[in-house]
Amino acid sequence: MSIEVQSAKGLTLEQYDKESKARAKKSLQDYVLLYEGAAKIGNVRGREVKIGFRNNRVLVAARILYAISGGYLYLITCMTLLGQRTRYSAAFQKALDTFRVW
């Protein structure tokens, strides 16, 4: 799991959503969008995507949540081997439920 906070001055959630998916599709080998939809990080409206891709010879699954609040982008990424996605789903969700955006 990784957590990033970046400046997002002038960037909307919709712009980031569109741009990040385009970057992933262009840069990740064998990229597949598995799911996308609305999400929340704490009490802030955001987006969630689940993707699959190949990292060298390994198939990887990522669950990515992002939200923009107060001029900052909050980005949480959970990754696992593609075949073990459901094994770690509950643990990821438990951790995600603890996050708050100030």
Range of the domain at 83: 2-96
pLDDT at position 83 is: 84
Answer whether residue 102 is part of any domain: no
- Residue 70 vs residue 83, higher pLDDT: 70
Question: Residue 91: which CATH number?
Answer: 3.40.1000.10
Answer whether residue 17 is part of any domain: yes
pLDDT at position 101 is: 82
> pLDDT tens digits for 7-16?
999 999 999 9
> pLDDT tens digits for 26-68?
999 999 999 999 999 988 999 999 999 999 999 999 999 999 9
* Tally of structural domains, the chain: 1
Q: What is the pTM of this model?
A: 0.89
Taking the C-alpha atoms of residue 77 and residue 50, their distance in angstroms, rounded to an integer, is: 10
User: Percentage of residues in the chain with pLDDT exceeding 90?
Assistant: 75
Alpha-carbon dihedral 57, 26, 85, 45, rounded to 10 degrees: 160
Answer whether residue 50 is part of any domain: yes
pLDDT at position 102 is: 72
Answer whether residue 101 is part of any domain: no
